[in-house]
Structure 1
Amino acid sequence: MEKIMKSDSNNVDFVFGRHAGLDFLRTQDASLINKIFLQNGVQASIADQVYQLAKKKKIIVQSVPKSKLDKLVDQQNHQGLVLAITPFEYTDLNDLLKSIEEKADPFLLMLDSIEDPHNLGSILRTADATGVDGIIIPQRRASGLTSVVAKTSTGAIDYVPVVRVNNLVQTVDTLKDKGYWFFGTAMSGDNYTNWDARGKCVLVIGNEGKGISPLLLKQMDQTLTIPMTGHVQSLNAGVATGILLYQMFNSRQAVKNGQIKQ
């Protein structure tokens, strides 16, 4: 146990929360999970699921007091379940592009320095729901894949590939050479409801406070804005991304009476 605690910054990360933890147990290879920490007296139905999955994958389950779990996840809401896992892995950009090269209308999401892990987790969740093929984030000055992101995504982190790159502007050039069109958020942009997101597209979402950086903004083929009539003229990054992703989704699908027609 002490070995895991001391090596957390380099060799171990945590997935916590009942939904995220159980989903990780069901879907991920046992080699990725070092140990399962279960709170003493946790709800019987949750404990039964954990022990069944752990037995199937031959993973150690350790019963611990709530205070131990609180310490492991820095007082986050763990709901009595914490998994010690190997660090989250990122997808290589070339591998991602190769995996979707046969698609007629691949859709990628680029996040310019999203700093709040809760926003990143929320965005991952919506990206999974709307069929985003992958997310691109910068290596510096941005949230990476963490246990907080995993919990907030409620399992979506296991399904949406995330690429981390050194330079977003250079990545834009690479993708434009492959035929992708870029759409970014800006206060002076076109009304998002008119956005036709069919084809090879990348939606760029800016930093929570500063928006898209000037050099990156110059690379956009079109900018989009979400009209607002209230006193506060800005939206949470996760909320804004959700609105735009569903505009993308609707422009690619025929939706009538609640039924999606391909």
Structure 2
Amino acid sequence: MAGNSQRRGRRVTPKKGATAGSGGKNRDGLAGRGRTLPADERPWHKGYSGTEKLPQRTAWKQEKERRAAAEEGRAPKIGMPGTKDTTWGKGTKGMKPIKRGAGGGGATGRRSGPKVSPGRKSNPAKGTPELLVGRNPVVEALRAHVPATALYVALGLDIDDRVNELVRTASDRGIPLLEVSRNELDRMTGGVLHQGVGLQVPPYSYEPFEDMLAASAESAAPLLVALDGVTDPRNLGAVIRSAAAFGAQGVFMTERRAAGMTATAWRTSAGAAARLPVSQVTNLTRAIKTCQRAGFVVVGLDADGETDVYHLEAAVGPVVVVVGSEGRGLSRLVGETCDLRVSIPMASTVESLNASVAAAVALAEITRRRAAG
């Protein structure tokens, strides 16, 4: 028996001796962290000048955040110079996209995108970035100055004039160029034909409906356009383009069961969405009634309307033009809420017009009547 004590809890092992040293292996852990950096040398500080080389740990953290953002299909949240709010729409004109790196250059290398099963179309959730694909659409979007946050290019891509133009334009605008494999780009686009290129755009920033209505009521010739269930983003973009061309002060539509301001709608609008406020409302009928209380005459476009557009006497006053969906036209409640239902005379061989074309015809006639008298 160790020891000469019979009490409980007695020590049965010898006392601990001196601890052996590490032999110098832990010398780095005992070293100091060095001097405290001033504000203009801290990459995470607003006073950072952007000329110094990033510390190794800071650069690693920023690279980790970029990879995570690419995996989730969102803009990186990096506390570094050049990082700004990337929502686009009213109040963001002239805003520069996010710059990668302390010097503002474009980052290269492989990045991961959102994982989507091949053959399934990606349907991004509300408030998440969207990927516009195809060489012609991407080139046209860049020409229209869509506020993009990243340009994805597949490795081994065949270079042509369009690819040269989109890469050059993205570089001139400071848009990061990210090279990914074709399989990765397939996953990001959900199997959609992308032709080796994809442009990531941030979510659109909608104008509050009340602000748009108040601004329109104060103008010399109040004119608004409402969309009742238009689901094609190309029709939405075309309507916005026509509304801007004929002097409307805004376009509004429902949040659900209708097209939103996607990259496709922006491209179709030919940049008009940057100049014209666009709003979303929860209930279109309620919004129309609000316009009526503000003194607007609500005109619904209907093939069976009792008045044709060429005899619309109300065109000279405050007007809201309501455009129905591509298939069924105006919904029952919206049609009953309108003050007038207006038709567009056509030849008997044509059954109906496209929603965006009908809107353009009606807006052009309203503008002509206002100019005439």
Flag whether TM exceeds 0.5 (same fold): yes
SS at match of 2:205: coil
What is the CA deviation profile of residues 37-85 of structure 1, one whole-angstrom value per residue up to 9, with x for unaligned ones?
356425234432321111xxxx422245777667655677878764322
What is the CA-CA distance between 1:131 and the residue it aligns to?
A: 2.1
Of stretches 161-170 and 40-49 in structure 1, the one that deviates more from structure 2 is 40-49
2:312 to 195, 219, 225: 195
CA contact (8 A) 2:144 2:267 kept: no
Q: How far, CA to CA, are the matches of 1:199 and 1:108 in structure 2?
A: 12
Q: How far, CA to CA, are the matches of 1:78 and 1:195 in structure 2?
A: 46
Closer, same or farther: CA 249–20 of 1 in aligned 2, 3 Å:
farther
User: Post-superposition, which runs of at least 4 consecutive aligned residues in structure 1 deviate over 6 A?
Assistant: 65-68, 75-80
What is the CA-CA distance between 1:183 and the residue it aligns to?
A: 0.7
Matches within 5 A, 1:34-53: 34-38=149-153, 40=157, 41-43=159-161, 44-53=164-173
Closer, same or farther: CA 42–154 of 1 in aligned 2, 3 Å:
farther
What is the CA deviation profile of residues 107-166 of structure 1, one whole-angstrom value per residue up to 9, with x for unaligned ones?
100111112222112212222222221111012221122222223223223222211111
Higher strand proportion, which one?
Answer: 1
Closer, same or farther: CA 48–112 of 1 in aligned 2, 3 Å:
same
Does residue 217 of structure 1 match 2:335?
yes
Does residue 125 of structure 1 match 2:125?
no
CA contact (8 A) 2:323 2:359 kept: yes
Matches within 5 A, 1:149-164: 149-164=265-280
What is the CA-CA distance between 1:239 and the residue it aligns to?
A: 1.4
SS at match of 1:19: helix
CA contact (8 A) 2:237 2:265 kept: yes
* Aligned partner letter, 2:172: Q
CA contact (8 A) 2:114 2:187 kept: no
Does residue 21 of structure 1 match 2:142?
yes
Residue in 2 that maps onto 1:183: 299
CA contact (8 A) 1:108 1:201 kept: yes
Q: How far, CA to CA, are the matches of 1:230 and 1:109 in structure 2?
A: 27
SS at match of 1:218: helix
SS at match of 1:143: coil
Closer, same or farther: CA 22–216 of 1 in aligned 2, 3 Å:
same
For structure 1, the 5+ residue unaligned runs are 255-261
Scaled by the length of structure 2, what TM-score is found? 0.58
Q: How far, CA to CA, are the matches of 1:162 and 1:61 in structure 2?
A: 30
Q: How many corresponding residue pairs?
A: 245
Does residue 6 of structure 1 match 2:114?
yes
Question: Pairwise CA RMSD of aligned residues?
Answer: 2.8
Closer, same or farther: CA 181–75 of 1 in aligned 2, 3 Å:
farther
> Percent same amino acid at aligned positions?
29
Q: How far, CA to CA, are the matches of 1:118 and 1:195 in structure 2?
A: 28
Q: How far, CA to CA, are the matches of 2:337 and 2:305 in structure 1?
A: 15
SS at match of 1:24: coil
* Aligned partner letter, 1:2: E
SS at match of 1:48: helix
* Aligned partner letter, 1:177: R
Does residue 167 of structure 1 match 2:283?
yes
Residue in 2 that maps onto 1:108: 224
Q: How far, CA to CA, are the matches of 2:249 and 2:195 in structure 1?
A: 30
Closer, same or farther: CA 79–19 of 1 in aligned 2, 3 Å:
farther
Closer, same or farther: CA 240–18 of 1 in aligned 2, 3 Å:
same
Q: How far, CA to CA, are the matches of 1:12 and 1:24 in structure 2?
A: 16
What is the CA deviation profile of residues 88-107 of structure 1, one whole-angstrom value per residue up to 9, with x for unaligned ones?
12111112123334212211
CA contact (8 A) 1:107 1:201 kept: yes
* Aligned partner letter, 1:116: D
Scaled by the length of structure 1, what TM-score is found? 0.80
